[in-house]
């Protein structure tokens, strides 16, 4: 079965942790994970400026490791990211901001990537949001 996942909550939230555990289970069960799309506050997961307390789980780092290890197509909504100050080098230059805080493996792209994943997947599973 082919899955796509949409994450609407930041990395420090229970919803993001559940999404990560679900993504891991998808692969462990031999299914395909087409794309993970970070939207709304979920875009904060891709910020390289996240600092997690020593006694808390660093879910953002776990997401990053998961994406790299499994070469997951992890897309961050560009409109939501810009509104929340999550920028790659190109967007930081374009908007004349002093620094970028989005690094590999994340990629900024439009909401069309979520639509495409939903069309190609057998199931779109969403975590978090309002």
SS3 66: helix
Q: Note the pLDDT tens digit of each residue in 55-100.
A: 999 999 999 999 999 999 999 999 999 999 999 999 999 999 999 9
Under the banding of pLDDT at 50, 70 and 90, the label for residue 130 is low
- Please say if the pLDDT value at position 40 is more than 80: yes
Residue spans per domain, the chain = 2-127
Q: Is the peptide bond before 112 cis (omega within 30 degrees of 0)?
A: no
Superfamily for 2-127? DsrEFH-like (3.40.1260.10)
**pLDDT at residue 129, rounded to an integer:** 75
Q: Is the dihedral of CA 83, 50, 65, 18 positive or negative?
A: negative
Q: Are 35 and 83 in contact (CB under 8 A)?
A: no
pTM recorded for the entire structure: 0.95
Backbone angles phi, psi at 77, to 5 degrees: -60, 120
* Residue 28: how many other CB atoms lie within 10 Å: 8
Q: Are 86 and 33 in contact (CB under 8 A)?
A: no
SS3 123: strand
SS3 75: strand
Q: What CA–CA distance (Å, rounded) separates 59 from 20?
A: 8
Residues noted as catalytic: 77
Q: Are 111 and 77 in contact (CB under 8 A)?
A: yes
Q: Is the peptide bond before 81 cis (omega within 30 degrees of 0)?
A: no
Task: Report the chain's mean pLDDT, rounded to a whole number.
Answer: 96
């Amino acid at each position: 079965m082919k899955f796509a996942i949409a994450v609407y909550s930041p990395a420090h939230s229970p919803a993001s942790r559940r999404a990560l555990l679900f993504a891991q289970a998808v692969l462990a069960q031999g299914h395909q994970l087409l794309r993970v799309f970070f939207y709304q506050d979920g875009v904060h997961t891709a910020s390289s400026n996240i600092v997690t307390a020593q006694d808390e789980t660093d879910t953002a780092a776990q997401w990053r490791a998961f994406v790299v290890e499994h070469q997951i197509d992890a897309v961050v909504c560009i409109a939501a990211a810009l509104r929340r100050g999550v920028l790659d080098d190109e967007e930081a230059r374009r908007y004349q901001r002093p620094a970028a805080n989005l690094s590999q493996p994340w990629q900024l792209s439009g909401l069309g990537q979520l639509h495409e994943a939903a069309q190609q997947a057998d199931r779109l599973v969403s975590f978090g949001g309002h």
